[in-house]
Structure 1
Amino acid sequence: MKSYPIKFTPILKERLWGGTKLRDVLGKKIDNDITGESWELSAVPGDVSVVANGQYRGKSLQELIDTYRAALLGKNVSERFGSEFPILIKFIDAKQDLSIQLHPNDELARKRHNSFGKTEMWYIMQADEGSELIVGFNKNVSKEVYSSHLEKNTLTDILNYEKVTEGDTFFINTGKVHAIGAGVLLAEIQQTSDVTYRIYDFNRKDKNGNTRELHTELALDAIDYEKKDDFKVTYTKEKNVSNTMVECPYFTTHYMDVEGHLEHDIAGRDSFSIYMCVEGEAEIATGGITENVKKGETVLIPAAAEMVHLISDKAKLLEVYIG
């Protein structure tokens, strides 16, 4: 396999709650005012990313996996996940509050939907003043207490609200009730899964006057009802090193503040590497090929690569791989 920084064409998603920041802040080519998500790297059936540059231009991510599995994914990753790409990378713009939701764990998702569960993390790229997230409950509750609040339309009374600013990072376990609030632009890294249990949607209606489906019964056995303070990620921001943010069975994410020229050895990783540019711009080179990435762009480095060169006057990157 030819190892080079592979870019993909973003898969843009109109959402009831979407806005214009993916276009206005991240420079995505969008002609509407309600785009909520840019899927940067996806192998979700029906939404598989297509290469936008270089030797493999026009080929889908799944085609690359099927042809070059171990060289692209890494031997360990391919043994764990077969020919499935294990993570989904997105940028999300919430002009309005997203629905309050949660995701089932692997066991439930496999049993009910033949899917992975959905563990995820969020990195806040920009937030309007006063913007918030919902993450978990503000006290321990029981299934009965939760159901009573849901029935009385007072669910928000028992939820935990977190004010956010640029750089804040959150790790969302399966089962944790959560929602992205209005005014937040973020990078999301998650397991490859589109299984979501929506439990409350503020009684909103779409352009056709319909409310969105809720998953009240499915959610009851999937929710973690315990109040936990395990979601806010603390991390260092040392320049020109990989600062660990999240390490979990599904992905590892590092924060990289690049200034100058960094030679980054990834030979022993046995995994593909992903770089999401969340501020500034940088040149990323491997295999003798250089690609420029700017804020809002993402590249994939095949597992066969041994060294990555990162060059920038000033850039902030999220580095993602399977540990």
Structure 2
Amino acid sequence: MANKLYPIKFEPILKTKIWGGNKLKNMLNKNASSPNVGESWEISDVAGSPSVVENGIFKGQSIKTLLHTYQAELVGEKNYQQFGNTFPLLIKFIDAKSDLSIQLHPNDALAAKRHNSFGKTEMWYVMQADKDAKLIVGFNQPMDINTYQEHLKNKTLPEILNFDFVKTGDAYFIDGGRIHAIGAGVLVAEIQQTSDITYRIYDWDRVDDTGNPRELHTDLALEAFNFNMPEDFRINYNKEPNKTNFMASCPYFTTNYLRITETLLRANTYDSFMIYMCVEGHATITANGVSQLVAMGETVLVPASLTEITLASSHATLLEIYV
């Protein structure tokens, strides 16, 4: 059946958020009608929000249907053995018009025990940032549970958090158990495990449309915290054109940075699907004789059985992701 497979695009799943803005529409050409769309889920197998194919002969089919039908041909033998009929990654673009809540995510063991879910390790690539925009990652000092709880109780949590000013191209790796938040004015590409579990710790005393504060998960978060993480969350990487520039790797995904100004041949030797997120310009992705244009703010999935991939562009930046 592999001869049917081709580079697949999915319909974006747009999520309205209290902190969302209009960059997904204005910068990434998403078909948003609401003024506060915060997320575009590009590839999702989260329960209740499955991606649906946008292009080619599979148009209208869900990612779950493709997985049931093509199994290892779609995701790779080792991935299918490990994850079965669940796609292991959730791929998003996020627009924070105002600050997100301060939060963290559980690791695999805790998420499995509490939620029958994967954990949520993730990474961010900053696509655009307004002047003086910041991200929160980690603490600005050695931290322990008592100090943290004291600041939480006194509503002085921001005093102990690490704020980084950011610009286009900055990248961060966020382990499960690390405190973090996307700040106002930042547009990011996010790569994460298939999980929608967030423990919200502090929400800037905001209220929703009905005047009620949003739910916090401070008790759940306590067991999820890892207060002893090294400050290794900033990703340093090269940006050499037309080469594979390694960014990050963990048990859940590997990400490379590709700045393309010509035609590149990619040999997929990883026994995994390949995902290409376009974060600048546009490129043509060809595999199995089928070409698919991908523009800034779009994402393409190349099935694992298509091991010869051509990327062509005069000017494009892609994030290349596999498991």
Asked if TM exceeds 0.5, the reply is yes
Check conservation: 1:137, 1:226, Cα contact below 8 A.
Answer: no
Secondary structure of 2:28's aligned partner: coil
Q: How does 1:1-323 map to 2 (within 5 A)?
A: 1=2, 2-226=4-228, 228-266=230-268, 268-322=269-323
- TM-score for the superposition, normalised by structure 2: 0.98
User: 5+ unaligned residues in a row in structure 2: which ranges?
Assistant: none
Distance 2:141 2:125 in 1: 25
Cα RMSD between the aligned structures? 0.8
Amino acid at match of 1:311: A
**Matched residue type, 1:313:** S
Amino acid corresponding to residue 56 of structure 2 in structure 1: G
SS in 1 for 2:128: strand
1:74-99 C-alpha deviation (Å, 9 max, x unpaired) = 00111111111111000000000000
Q: Is the 8 A contact 1:138 1:227 kept in 2?
A: no
Q: Distance in 2 between matches of 1:259 and 1:176?
A: 37
Q: CA deviation at 1:228?
A: 2.8
SS of the equivalent of 1:88 reads: strand
Residues in 2 aligned to 1:58 and 1:279: alpha-carbon distance in whole angstroms: 27
Tell me the CA shift for residue 4 of structure 1: 1.2
**What per-residue deviation string (whole Å, max 9, x for no partner) do you get for residues 193-239 of structure 1?**
01110000001011111111000111111112236311000111111
Cα distance in 1 for partners of 2:143, 2:171 equals 25
TM-score, normalised with respect to structure 1: 0.98
Query: Residue type matched to 1:80 in 2?
Result: Q
* 1:250-275 alpha-carbon deviations (Å, 9 max, x no partner): 00000000111111111x21000000
Provide the rounded CA distance (Å) in 2 between the counterparts of 1:71 and 1:222: 35
The answer to whether the 8 A contact 1:103-1:117 is kept is yes
Distance 2:118 2:288 in 1: 33
**Alpha-carbon deviations, 1:148-194, whole Å to 9, x = none?**
11010000111111110000000001100000000000000000001
Segments ≥4 residues shifted beyond 6 Å: none
- Cα separation, 1, equivalents of 2:315 and 2:72: 33
Instruction: List per-residue Cα deviations over 1:35-80 (Å, max 9, x = no partner).
Output: 0000000000100000000011110000000111010010011111
Pairs aligned (count):
321
Letter in 1 for 2:194: T
Q: Counterparts of 1:310 and 1:36 in 2: how far apart (Å)?
A: 29
Indicate how the Cα distance of structure 1 residues 252 and 227 shifts in structure 2: closer, same or farther if over 3 A, else same. Answer: closer
Aligned amino acid, residue 282 of structure 1: A
* Contact map agreement 1:136 1:228 (CA 8 A) in 2: no
1:7, 1:53 within 8 Å by CA — same for their partners in 2? yes
Letter of the structure 2 residue corresponding to residue 35 of structure 1: V
